[in-house]
């Protein structure tokens, strides 16, 4: 199975590397060509446009920031759609609007091609370790056909039903993540204000009922003043915006989601968007200093 990969950012780079290590013939494209150099050295082939990736590949994977980016890569000039032949498969592993995913899948189906939406959870560390959780929407037979690709990238791989359900599940995930990040940030900020030794507080609270993935993986980085992104604040804000848009369709109240969206938006506005999500604590630090 020839694989194509488009988007070699923080997540895409290690994911594509795992596919190559698993033995899949790999063709890659990304806007910044220099990012592809380690993969080319490992035997991947370079394509000059998304259409060329599609022409060379049986399965084309995209890992991009937002819905408009995916639409452009799929359907813009020299996009994936212009290089497809009947029977090819597109897997979008970005986090984008569920309604757009459904529409994209329908457009590709008109070309006799299938699409899976397969967003991931686990951050940069999960991408590097190959332990991502992958939530997949789309035809089950197509999912089973692509399972070897997913197994090269993650450990918990779940088919969730029709197109769009992968993205819908990811939004559930992101709401829970954001609220956990908020709880972690406020708790550690309070510890600092109280004059506690955070290096002692963290293992105590992490070992009890307050324990979480965020405390295990992100809190130690806060203590080290390490705000390099495994997943950027601006992308978490984007995901919460998508969640807000879905929630609005039902006229429901999700106050925690609304609060975290407002806080992540404020963090972006204050210039923290390029930091990892653990950098949300800097929003409180700046406010406290004011």
Q: Are residues 149 and 229 in the same domain?
A: no
Which range marks the domain in which residue 38 is found?
3-162
Residues 20 and 143 in one domain: yes
Domain stop point among 129, 147, 162: 162
The values of phi and psi at residue 28, to 5°, are -130, 155
Q: What pLDDT is attached to residue 290? A: 45
Whole-model pTM: value is 0.95
Q: Could you tell me the CATH number of the domain that includes residue 221?
A: 1.10.1040.10
Parts of the chain with a pLDDT under 70: 287-290
Q: What is the pLDDT of residues 22-65, one digit of tens each?
A: 999 999 999 999 999 999 999 999 999 999 999 999 999 999 99
| pLDDT of the residue at 285 | 83
Does residue 157 share a domain with residue 177?
Answer: no
**pLDDT score, position 287:** 60
Output the DSSP codes for the chain. Answer: --EEEE--STTHHHHHHHHHHTT--EEEE-SSGGGGHHHHHTT-EE-SSHHHHHHH-SEEEE--SSHHHHHHHHHSTT-GGGG--TT-EEEE-S---HHHHHHHHHHHHTTT-EEEE--EESHHHHHHHT-EEEEEBS-HHHHHHHHHHHHTTEEEEEE-SSTTHHHHHHHHHHHHHHHHHHHHHHHHHHHHHTT--HHHHHHHHHTTTT--HHHHHTHHHHHTT----SSBHHHHHHHHHHHHHHHHTTT---HHHHHHHHHHHHHHHTT-TTSBGGGHHHHHHHHHH-
CATH number for position 38: 3.40.50.720
User: Active site residue: 35, 88, 170, 285, which one?
Assistant: 170
pLDDT in tens, 64-85: 999 999 999 999 999 999 999 9
Q: Are residues 10 and 141 in the same domain?
A: yes
Q: Can 145 be counted among the known catalytic residues? A: no
- Say whether both 194 and 158 belong to one domain: no
Please tell me whether residues 178 and 262 are part of one structural domain. yes
């Amino acid at each position: 199975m020839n694989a194509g990969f488009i988007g070699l950012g923080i997540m895409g780079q290690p994911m594509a590397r795992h596919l190559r290590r698993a033995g899949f013939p790999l063709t890659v494209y990304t806007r910044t060509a220099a990012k592809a150099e380690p993969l080319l050295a490992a035997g991947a082939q370079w394509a000059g446009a998304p259409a060329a990736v599609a022409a060379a590949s049986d399965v084309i994977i995209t890992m991009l920031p937002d819905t408009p980016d995916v639409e452009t890569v799929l359907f813009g000039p020299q996009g994936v759609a212009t290089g497809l032949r009947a029977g090819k498969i597109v897997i979008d592993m970005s986090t984008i609007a569920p309604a757009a995913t459904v529409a994209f899948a329908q457009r590709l189906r008109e070309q006799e091609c299938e699409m899976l939406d397969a967003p991931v959870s686990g951050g940069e560390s999960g991408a590097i370790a190959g332990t991502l959780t992958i939530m997949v929407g789309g035809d089950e037979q197509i999912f089973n056909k692509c399972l070897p690709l997913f197994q090269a990238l993650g450990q918990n791989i779940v088919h969730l039903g029709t197109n769009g359900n992968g993205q819908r599940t990811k939004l559930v995930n992101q709401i829970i993540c954001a609220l956990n990040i908020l709880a972690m940030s406020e708790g550690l900020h309070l510890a600092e204000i109280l004059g506690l030794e955070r290096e002692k507080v963290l293992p105590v609270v992490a070992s009890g009922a307050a324990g979480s993935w965020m405390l295990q993986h992100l809190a130690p980085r806060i203590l080290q003043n390490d705000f390099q992104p495994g997943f950027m604040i601006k992308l978490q804000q984007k995901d919460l915006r998508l969640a807000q848009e879905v929630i609005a369709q039902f006229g429901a109240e999700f106050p925690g989601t609304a609060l975290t969206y407002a806080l992540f938006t404020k963090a972006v506005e204050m210039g923290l968007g390029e930091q990892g999500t653990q950098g949300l604590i800097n929003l409180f630090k700046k406010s406290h200093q004011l």
